[in-house]
Amino acid sequence: MIDLKNPNIPVNTTTYDRNQVDEPTENIYEAISIISRRAEQINVEIKKELIDKLEEFATYNDSLEEIFENKEQIEVSKFYERLPKPHAIAIQEWLTDKIYYRNTEEDSQE
């Protein structure tokens, strides 16, 4: 599970050293591909968690068949809006060696 309250993840745009990003793979395109796949995974996790939390506070009106938002739903939504973006979390995980990856081409040659 990802740590959404990690203060070390920048919320704003940040410039990274290209050499630091591609150091583990020695290929910037491969590194970006790995980071983007992880960002997609993080996005799915965050979205699922948000939907689950919003469902806890949902109140259904049988006559109008509408879901009314209450104060708790708005607070939960605001919390998730302030979180770092999935790509920023993925880059931070990559730079701190928290993403496991392997090259399947090298595995098949052995």
| Average pLDDT over all residues of the chain | 84
Q: What six digits make up the tokens of 23?
A: 């150091």
For 37, other C-beta atoms within 10 Å of its C-beta total 13
| Residue 59 DSSP class | E
* Distance in angstroms (rounded) separating the CA atoms of residues 56 and 74: 12
The 10 Å Cβ neighbour count of residue 58 is 12
CA 83 to chain CA centroid, nearest Å: 9
DSSP element (H, E) containing 61: strand 59-61
- pLDDT tens digits along 56-108: 877 666 555 455 557 888 888 899 898 999 999 999 999 999 999 988 777 66
